[in-house]
Amino acid sequence: MHLPRPRGPLSAAVIADLAGEPSESLLDVQVPGTDVLTDGDFQLALWTLYELHYRGFDEVPDDREWDPELIALRGRLEAAFEAALRRPTYAFVQQGLASGDDVANQIVAVIDAVGGPPVASYLQRRATRDQVLDFMSQRSLYHLKESDPSSFVLARIGGRAKTALAELLHDEFGAGDPERLHADLFADALEGCGLDPSYGAYVDMTPATSLAVNNVMSLFGLHRRLRGAALGHLAAFETTSAVPCRRIAGGIERVGLAPVVADYFHEHVEADSVHEQVALRDICGSLVADEPSVREDVLFGAAACAYLDDVAGRELLDDWQHNARWRPDRAEAS
Amino acid sequence: MSDRWRAVSADGEEIVGIQTPDGPRVVRRAVRVEDRDGECHAVTRPVVALCVCDLSQRSPWCDSTHKSIPRKPRSG
């Protein structure tokens, strides 16, 4: 994958530094403190720094993953990002805590409290073919590395929660069959749409909030301190997946895309109906039983997942309302 | 709780699994699921969720259709 196109001074400084052409010391770079969830420059800078921990970039030496200046800047961005997530989700976490003692029920209460925009229903009933393609390209940033952020957490927990997380990840990673790797099933789906299936192909066209949806998983996955939030996020993600996937598959079939495209979503109707139970009870339930102090962070992770899904979904629906056709810049890049 | 499905281990023993509240029956280490008519469904996942509400369109596997109906005690 190549480095993305800068969107402002912050991402320009990061990308220039990674390209070996630093314009200024990253220690002097200004970091915005407000509205970071909708700030494309901020989210792209953070996404680029996180990507060093996954597959990296063709232009960047592998050992820059642990470059102290990059890590220092990442830490400053993460502090602003985490604060921007904690503020709007606090009330939802409190609602979850007030809903009884069972952590699975608390997570569901948090998700219900946040709500969500009807993206899947829109895709099912009304979306044009171009809008479905738009959705697929935006989702590709995550689904081509599906479950990779959660895999970082495996080494940080023990006991029943670890066994259950490994069980869930085993299924995500194909249950022993490379042909069933979920990330590769999504690549097949992209190809079936006539879209570029290569990793990170659509990053330049991914809006700020969708980058934030990706970044939150890396934030939680890369910090042992946030292991509870990582698993709460996973549980919320799985719990809000099966029903929307069934609707999305219906929309894909309605607009006449190849069966391989809907196959990915059909697989997730079944897989995520299982994963929901495993994540809520065996992973989060066991983790909180072993480490009661992480309960609130589990709910924070769930709230952050639902909240960002809501923000990104609203932006997508609003965009579709005003731009019914495939965006020219996207068409060029695909 | 529905007893439509009988999950069976590699040794041929029945695995009851765990009934989740308002949800499916979760079963581990099964190799196949048999229905009342003797039809067999191969298990390809390390853990599966069996429909107990009889509404799934992917029987015997849960497809989360139970979320679309009002919750009843101990049903899925």
Q: Are A189 and A144 in contact (CB under 8 A)?
A: no
Show me where the domains of chain A are located: 9-82, 90-333
Domain span at residue B14?
6-65
B57 occurs within a structural domain: yes
**Contacts of residue A173, Cβ cutoff 8 Å, sequence gap at least 6:** A147, A181, A182
Residue partners of A177: CB distance under 8 A and separation at least 6: none
Task: From A186, A183, A180, select the one nearest A135 (Cα to Cα).
Answer: A186
Q: Could you name the CATH architecture of A90-333?
A: Up-down Bundle (1.20)
CB-based contact B47 A278, cutoff 8 Å: yes
Domain assignment present for B72 = no
Q: What is the ipTM of this complex?
A: 0.86
- If you search the block for the tokens 């470059």, which residue do you land on? A67
- Cα separation, A210 vs A35, whole angstroms: 14
Asked whether residue B45 is domain-assigned, the answer is yes
**Rounded CA gap, A246 and A233, in Å?**
21
Name the residue facing A170 among B20, B23, B46 (closest C-beta).
B46
Count of domains for chain B: 1
Q: Is B37 on the interface with A (CB under 8 A)?
A: no
pLDDT tens for chain A, 334 residues: list them: 999 999 999 999 999 999 999 888 898 999 998 899 999 999 999 999 999 999 999 999 999 999 999 999 999 999 999 999 999 999 999 999 999 999 999 999 999 999 988 999 999 999 999 999 999 999 999 999 999 999 999 999 999 999 999 999 999 999 999 999 999 999 999 999 999 999 999 999 999 999 999 999 999 999 999 999 999 999 999 999 999 999 999 999 999 999 999 999 999 999 999 999 999 999 999 999 999 999 999 999 999 999 999 999 999 999 898 875 445 344 434 3
**In this model, does residue B74 exceed pLDDT 90?**
no
Lowest mean pLDDT among B21-35, B37-51, B58-72: B58-72
Q: What does residue A305 show for φ and ψ, rounded to 5 degrees?
A: -60, -50
Distance between B16 CA and the closest CA of chain A, angstroms: 16
* Cβ-based contacts of A269 with chain B (< 8 Å): 58, 63-64
Q: Encoding tokens for residue A270?
A: 């079944």
Residue B48 lies in a domain: yes
Look at residue B49 and tell me if it is in a domain.
yes
Residues 46-75 of B with CB under 8 A from A: 46-49, 58, 61-64, 67-68
Give residue A329's pLDDT.
47
Distance of CA A170 to the CA centre of its chain: 19
| pTM summary value | 0.93
